[in-house]
Amino acid sequence: MVTYLEFEKPIEELRNQLENAKQIAEKSKVDMSQSLKELEKKIEETTREIYANLTPWQRVMVSRHPDRPYTLAYINSLTGGNWIELHGDRTVKDDKAMVGGFGMVDGRTIMFIGQQKGINTKMRQYRNFGMPNPEGYRKALRLMKLAEKFNKPIVTFIDTPGAYPGLEAEERGQGEAIARNLYEMSKLNVPVICIIIGEGASGGALGIGIGDKVYMLENTWYSVISPESCSSILWRSWDFKEKAAEALKLTASDMLNNKLVDGVIPEPLGGAHNNHEEIFATVKKYILNSLTELDKLSPEERVKQRINKFCSMGVVHEM
Amino acid sequence: MNWFKRIKVGITTSTKEKKETPEGLWYKCPSCKAITPTDEHVQNKYICPKCEYHEKIGSAEYFSIIFDDNQFKEINANLVSGDPLNFSDTKKYTDRLKATIEKTHLHDAIRTAHGKVNGNDLMVACMDFNFIGGSMGSGVGEKIARAIDYCIENKIPLMIISKSGGARMMEAAFSLMQMAKTSAKLTLLSEAKIPYISLLTDPTTGGVTASYAMLGDLNIAEPGALIGFAGPRVVKETIGKDLPKGFQTSEFVLEHGFLDYIVNRKELKSKLTKTLEMFKN
Ligand SMILES: [Zn+2]
């Protein structure tokens, strides 16, 4: 069952028409290939037009599209299933909202880490809606240090509505866990590539987001707060989320313009949810190309460049 | 109630001026409601003599409490956050900044100064809560980064006094990246083996907790401060019930292993001196 967002309704309608026409053609044995072709063309044009004019808020909705691939789908596809999931932070428990493990891509071992959202109602609960607890960030850091020890590059997939704001999360130091990751990731001596594949909400996203290359998929968002929460705090109402989404400049292209990320990974026509295989292939290409580039630098040079990059972010002036 | 005048916290009047406040001005403790003459309250480092409630104070007050003879050299005093996003909510961000600067006589939510603490050199970066809720934007991040450079160059220890509601939303992702920036910069301070003491005061939450405030060689706090990542209201909404007593206080955070010690503001300078000397000798 395909899910359509409100603004995707014209696409849904055309696809239904196409389906009907196909059935009629089948039953009546009349040659309808010409009109089928035209319908297909129209679907493509409509999709292109809709996706070329998405508002920031609509992109936020695409980033949360239930049919979008999540972290485990990327890892499975990129490694062709040749990977080993690793569990636990060695202190408290295994956080199901943060997954990771060694995987093989074209004969090279990579440490994959990412937030994981659930694929159905039951799994969404199990994955805590992709909101890690402190043990999730500590599990991620443990895996990164493991990768560093054995000189394996790290790829993180970011997709979270935020770090979990629960009681135990506070008891176990959510703030400290994220802070520690920012600090430690800054000086990891192996290549680190971070890719926002869905939602990049605030410190919960940044907690696995300090990389030599930080990419955003075309229809994702990354900011300090969700548009909904921003609306409720700054406008004191939930009704200004569209306005907030615009003001926050949270889309991939805005983030690239502001030099806060290193690149935008194009999505298939109609979004990543429209063609999983294509987005997996594109992401794989970006990872391998980036690794080739990063391999040329010494670990010291990479760390220096990484730290300098983040330290240059910000706009100030003298008064 | 007009005969009670709450001390305006964080304004840049010197302690000396405050001491000269005419008699008849009183401080009313928001915690126990006890009334104390303002000058006595100032003498007592803005702590309620009855219940030890630590009133929120600003950088001017902390500098006067910490530095010998209130002597210090402030660096990058005129640095201000830009407005790269041309942000506007119910008000333009640039207007908000301008109004806040006029009202507080501060340029951003942090001031950085080098002075001596019983003869020991120390760089203190102190946040001001009354500057847009002590929120962290580009100005705060850059001033901390430059303070760290200064510490490395001059080989002097760093103390950051945190007091913040978290990120500055009007700077959106630029604000978020200040968490990365300050944390990355702290790795350089660490590499230079220069001590960093993080003092968490009421309140320290959000992105500040999730970056430099929790990254001290020592994390210390004033008693009774609110310290957390998510704000108590958000946590309460998440769990759907009332929060346990003392949740997210300094004492709670100490008990859970994230602080080295809690220090009463009256003992701050002496304990700080002792701590600095431990690193030095
Ligand atoms: Zn009191």
**CATH number, domain at A256?**
3.90.226.10
Q: Is residue A138 part of a domain?
A: yes
Q: Mark whether A31 and A148 lie in a shared domain.
A: no
Relative orientation angle of helices B172-191 and A174-186, to the nearest 10 degrees: 70
Q: Mark whether B35 and B132 lie in a shared domain.
A: no
Q: Mark whether B184 and B46 lie in a shared domain.
A: no
Q: Mark whether B51 and B74 lie in a shared domain.
A: no
Cα(B10)–Cα(B21) distance, integer angstroms = 16
Average pLDDT (B225-236) is: 97
Q: Mark whether A128 and A189 lie in a shared domain.
A: yes
Q: Is residue B5 part of a domain?
A: no
Distance from the Cα of B73 to chain A's closest Cα (Å) equals 18
- Nearest by Cα to B249 from B233, B232, B272: B232
Q: Mark whether A16 and A49 lie in a shared domain.
A: yes
Tell me if A314 and B258 make a contact (CB, 8 A cut-off).
no
Question: B44-49, long-range: CB within 8 Å, 24+ apart, which pairs?
Answer: B44/B266, B45/B265, B45/B266, B45/B268, B46/B7, B46/B9, B46/B265, B47/B264, B47/B265, B47/B266
Give chain B positions within 8 Å (CB) of A203: 176, 179, 206-207, 210-211, 229
Q: Mark whether B36 and B170 lie in a shared domain.
A: no
Q: Mark whether B64 and B195 lie in a shared domain.
A: yes
| Cα separation values, B77 from B11, B113, B212, Å | 15, 9, 20
Give chain A positions within 8 Å (CB) of B185: 307, 311
- What residues contact B108, with CB distance under 8 A and at least 6 apart? B79, B80, B81, B131, B137, B139, B140, B143
Q: What percent of chain B has pLDDT over 70?
A: 91
Q: Give the angle subtended at the CA of B25 by the CAs of B19 and B27, to the nearest 5°.
A: 90
* Assigned token pair, B163: 């007091």
Q: Is residue A170 part of a domain?
A: yes
Give chain B positions within 8 Å (CB) of A163: 210, 229-230
Number of neighbours of residue A107 by Cβ within 10 angstroms: 5
Give chain A positions within 8 Å (CB) of B258: 173, 176
- What residues contact B125, with CB distance under 8 A and at least 6 apart? B110, B111, B112, B143, B144, B147, B158, B159, B160, B161
Domain closes at, from A53, A69, A89: A53
**Is B24 buried (19+), middle (13-18) or exposed (0-12) by CB count in 10 A?**
exposed
| Contact (Cβ atoms closer than 8 angstroms) between residue A115 and residue A157 | yes
Relative orientation angle of helices B172-191 and A241-248, to the nearest 10 degrees: 50
What DSSP character marks residue B83? -
Tell me if A202 and B167 make a contact (CB, 8 A cut-off).
yes
Domain closes at, from A21, A36, A53: A53
Distance B47 CA to ligand 1 centre (A): 8
pTM: 0.94
Domain closes at, from B13, B37, B55: B55
Q: Quick one: closest CA in A to B190, which residue? A: A183
- Encode pLDDT of B187-229 as tens digits: 999 999 999 999 999 999 999 999 999 999 999 999 999 999 9
A187 three-class SS: coil
Q: Mark whether B230 and B269 lie in a shared domain.
A: yes
Q: Is residue B1 part of a domain?
A: no
Residues 101-140, chain B, touching A (beta carbon < 8 A): 101, 107, 137-139
Cα(A15)–Cα(A88) distance, integer angstroms = 44
Residue-level pLDDT at A30 = 83
Q: Is residue B122 part of a domain?
A: yes
Which stretches of A104-160 are DSSP H helices? 121-126, 134-149
Residue-level pLDDT at A1 = 73
Tell me if B211 and A258 make a contact (CB, 8 A cut-off).
no
Cα(B192)–Cα(A154) distance, integer angstroms = 27
| Contact (Cβ atoms closer than 8 angstroms) between residue A87 and residue A44 | no
Residue-level pLDDT at B31 = 95
| Total count of domains within chain B | 2
Residue with tokens 């409100």: A6
Per-residue pLDDT at B11 exceeds 80: no
B2 three-class SS: coil
Question: B88-93, long-range: CB within 8 Å, 24+ apart, which pairs?
Answer: B88/A247, B89/A234, B89/A235, B89/A244, B89/A247, B89/B170, B90/A234, B90/A235, B93/B170, B93/B171
Q: Is residue A79 part of a domain?
A: yes
Q: Mark whether B100 and B29 lie in a shared domain.
A: no
pLDDT per residue as tens, chain A (319 positions): 789 999 999 999 999 999 999 999 889 888 888 989 999 999 999 999 999 999 999 999 999 999 999 999 999 999 999 999 999 999 999 999 999 999 999 999 999 999 999 999 999 999 999 999 999 999 999 999 999 999 999 999 999 999 999 999 999 999 999 999 999 999 999 999 999 999 999 999 999 999 999 999 999 999 999 999 999 999 999 999 999 999 999 999 999 999 999 999 999 999 999 999 999 999 999 999 999 999 999 999 999 999 999 999 999 999 8
Tell me if A166 and B229 make a contact (CB, 8 A cut-off).
no
Task: Find which of B75, B76, B79, B89 to mutate to test the A interface (most A CBs within 10 Å of its CB).
Answer: B89
Cα(A132)–Cα(A138) distance, integer angstroms = 10
Q: Is residue A318 part of a domain?
A: no
Per-residue pLDDT at B7 exceeds 60: no
Q: Mark whether B36 and B171 lie in a shared domain.
A: no
Average pLDDT (B114-142) is: 98
| Contact (Cβ atoms closer than 8 angstroms) between residue B80 and residue B139 | yes
Q: Is residue B70 part of a domain?
A: yes
Q: Is residue B195 part of a domain?
A: yes
Q: Mark whether A46 and A65 lie in a shared domain.
A: no
Per-residue pLDDT at B5 exceeds 80: no
Q: What is the mean pLDDT of chain B?
A: 92
Q: Is residue B166 part of a domain?
A: yes
Domain closes at, from B34, B55, B76: B55
Q: What's phi and psi for A23, nearest 5 deg?
A: -65, -45
Cα(B207)–Cα(B144) distance, integer angstroms = 14
Handedness of CA A103, A216, A52, B170 (dihedral sign): positive
- Encode pLDDT of A129-155 as tens digits: 999 999 999 999 999 999 999 999 999
Q: Mark whether B178 and B210 lie in a shared domain.
A: yes
Which domain, by its residues, includes B44?
Answer: 24-55
Q: Mark whether B141 and B257 lie in a shared domain.
A: yes
Q: Mark whether A30 and A47 lie in a shared domain.
A: yes
Inter-chain contacts counted by CB atoms under 8 A, chains A and B: 194
Which domain, by its residues, includes A43?
Answer: 6-53
Q: Mark whether A96 and A181 lie in a shared domain.
A: yes
Give chain A positions within 8 Å (CB) of B88: 247
Of the candidates A169, A249, A316, the beta carbon closest to that of B142 is on A316
Q: Is residue A317 part of a domain?
A: no
Q: Is residue B132 part of a domain?
A: yes
Give chain A positions within 8 Å (CB) of B90: 234-235
Tell me if A165 and B238 make a contact (CB, 8 A cut-off).
yes
Residue-level pLDDT at B178 = 98
Distance B13 CA to ligand 1 centre (A): 24
B119 three-class SS: coil
Q: Mark whether B182 and B253 lie in a shared domain.
A: yes
Q: Is residue B163 part of a domain?
A: yes
Q: Mark whether A102 and A159 lie in a shared domain.
A: yes
- Encode pLDDT of B247-281 as tens digits: 999 999 999 999 999 999 999 999 999 999 999 98
A97 three-class SS: coil
Element (H, E) at B164: strand B158-164
Distance from the Cα of A315 to chain B's closest Cα (Å) equals 5
Q: Mark whether A118 and A28 lie in a shared domain.
A: no
Tell me if B177 and A313 make a contact (CB, 8 A cut-off).
yes
Q: What is the CATH number of the domain that holds B74?
A: 3.90.226.10
Q: Mark whether A42 and A184 lie in a shared domain.
A: no
Q: Quick one: closest CA in A to B214, which residue? A: A176
Q: Would you give the distance in Å from CA A18 to the centre of its chain?
A: 32
| Total count of domains within chain A | 2
Number of neighbours of residue B170 by Cβ within 10 angstroms: 27
Q: Mark whether B49 and B72 lie in a shared domain.
A: no
Q: Mark whether A32 and A176 lie in a shared domain.
A: no
Tell me if B173 and A175 make a contact (CB, 8 A cut-off).
no
* Assigned token pair, B76: 């990058």
Q: Mark whether A181 and A232 lie in a shared domain.
A: yes
Q: Mark whether A112 and A135 lie in a shared domain.
A: yes
Q: ipTM score of the complex?
A: 0.96
Element (H, E) at B128: none
Give chain A positions within 8 Å (CB) of B89: 234-235, 244, 247
